[in-house]
Structure 1
Amino acid sequence: MSTPTRPHRNFYGRLKGKSLKRSQKEYLDQDLAALSPGAVGWDENPQRVPLDLAALFDDRPVWLEIGFGGGEHLVHQAASNPDIGIIGAEPYINGVAMLLGKIRRAGVSNLAVHPGDARDLMDVLPDGVIQRAFLLYPDPWPKKRHHRRRFVTPEHLGPLHRVMAPGAVLRVATDIPDYVRQTLEQVPRAGFRWLAERPADWRTPWDDWLSTRYEQKALREGRVPHYLTFRRR
């Protein structure tokens, strides 16, 4: 029987930006391996053995942030909720380095980092283990021909639905009206119920929200954030 190989997946976002600072290189060299959950990558886990999240987080409920950017929201949630474990997935190595610096300064220990495509992480997450997921200011891919690259497509939402527990909450924040449209079309089709009952439910940030640098940029440029909350059916 042949060993499964890593599936071919196109990746369209940036993996690296400007040169890393010396301190950021040190964070990557010294901290990343210990914070990365075992056997996430296909090279290390060719048979897709599910992650042992109970061992990773001592049986705490597990949350997931998809594309954590600079990591400020991820660290905020980890610090505010020491009784949960939270995994952040981000392929942009500059963002990973920024997160590692924030983890050092905050001293949080209930956080794991997947420095890669969230689809590869979901390949090795067991069914129904994620109690809450965050998709915050994802890449908008504004050109119509690129809309299939957005996260809110069946390619991504199907695996996300599988790894989330029944009743688990998905939060989506975006300042792009057409991304709102596609989210409200595709996420319910993937098995999630939109929880809004009145306009304030999508216009008002969540009670535990920490505004990110992406949101601050949107506000400076006159764009209006939307806060969409779904429950996994």
Structure 2
Amino acid sequence: MTADRPPLAEGIPDRLYGRRRGHVLRPRQQRLIDLTLPRLTLTDPAHPFPHPVAGLWLEVGFGGGEHAYVLSRANPDVGYIASEVFENGLCSLLTRLAPDGEEATAPLPPNLRLWPRDARHLVAALPEGALDKLILLFPDPWPKARHAKRRFVNPTLLPAVARVVRPGGEWRVASDDPTYQAWVTETLARQDFFASAALATTRPEGWPPTRYEAKALREGRQPLYWSFTRRVS
């Protein structure tokens, strides 16, 4: 075990099943990974930002990065950590931040840090009650029953998640997959860490759109949006 790989909950496989790479990176994308990503990568979970922030938010699996980009810009006083392991997704966000030719020099948002690793390890490493907001949008549903243990919403992982969300903090979840929607409803109904959710069938105000949501709507799937509140002990 290394300093950035604290143990996961018992029964949760310490193995990342999602893709890290897609097609071969173009030269511009490779420069973003080599030169821009290290400038934004979170290195110390105990002290994510060198300056005081009004709150700390974490987005798990940011996909193309459009949601993280909009929210981090709209909330410059908040420390925003965006986690994604898929290199092409990382490049999609980094492209918005560094102009071509300025990958090593362009000014970067001081309130944004990236975690290009398994988000579960970050959850395990963050201080207790560190997060004011946790965001999980359209995660891989792992629809087969034998793969349920791979889901981020997981009864075994819930205590670890609850540990890092402060009392009164918010956990946002969205999914367009019926299997995952039923799983979230059932899993969160059987725990005492988070209060009953506000559930919506249209994207709530303050939730920027994502390309995954747009694709779901085009293909006739109905997304659901939950906002869970961390119970006060």
Question: What TM-score range do you get, normalising by the shorter chain?
Answer: 0.7 to 0.9
Within the candidate set 20, 25, 38, 1:20 is matched to 25
Residue 207 of structure 1 aligns to a residue whose secondary structure is coil
> Match for 2:97 among 89, 95, 103?
103
User: Which structure shows the bigger proportion of residues in helix conformation?
Assistant: 1
Task: Give the structure-1-normalised TM-score.
Answer: 0.85
Matches within 5 A, 1:62-73: 62-73=56-67
Aligned to 2:173: 172
Counterpart of 2:91 in structure 1: which amino acid? A
Maintained 8 Å contact 1:161/1:190: no
Displacement of 1:154 in angstroms is: 2.7
Per the alignment, residue 219 of structure 1 pairs with 217
Pair 1:38 & 2:43 matched: yes
Structure 2: runs of 5+ lacking an equivalent: 8-12, 100-106
Alignment match of 1:89 (pick from 78, 83, 89): 83
Partner of 2:117: 116
Alignment of 1:171-210 (within 5 A): 171-188=172-189, 189=191, 191-196=193-198, 201-210=199-208
Which is worse superposed, 158-167 or 128-137? Answer: 158-167
SS in 1 for 2:50: helix
Deviations 1:165-212 (A, max 9, x none): 00000110100122111112223416111233xxxx411212112221
| Distance (Å, rounded) in 2 between the aligned partners of 1:112 and 1:158 | 24
Output aligned runs, 1:110-149, within 5 Å.
Answer: 110-149=111-150
Runs of 4+ residues deviating >4 angstroms = 2-8
Residue 195 of structure 2 aligns to a residue whose secondary structure is: strand
Report the residue type matching 1:10 in the other structure.
R
Give the letter for the 1:29 counterpart.
Answer: D
**Cα distance, 1:104 vs structure 2:** 2.8
The question of whether the paired residues in 1 share the 8 Å contact of 2:4 and 2:121 is answered with no
Query: Does the 8 Å CA contact 1:170/1:230 hold for their aligned counterparts?
Result: yes
Q: Structure 2 CA distance, aligned partners of 1:147 and 1:120?
A: 18
Partner of 1:42: none
Change (3 A) 1:158 1:220: same
2:14 aligned with 1:9, yes or no?
A: yes
- Consecutive unaligned residues of structure 1, counting only runs of 5 or more, are 40-49
Amino acid at match of 1:191: F
Q: Aligned partner of 2:207: which letter?
A: W
Instruction: Measure, in 2, the Cα distance between the counterparts of 1:4 and 1:138.
Output: 26
Name the TM-score, length of structure 2 as normaliser. Answer: 0.85
Does structure 1 conserve the Cα–Cα contact (< 8 Å) formed by 2:138 and 2:175?
yes
Q: Does the aligned pair in 2 maintain the 1:194–1:228 contact within 8 Å?
A: no
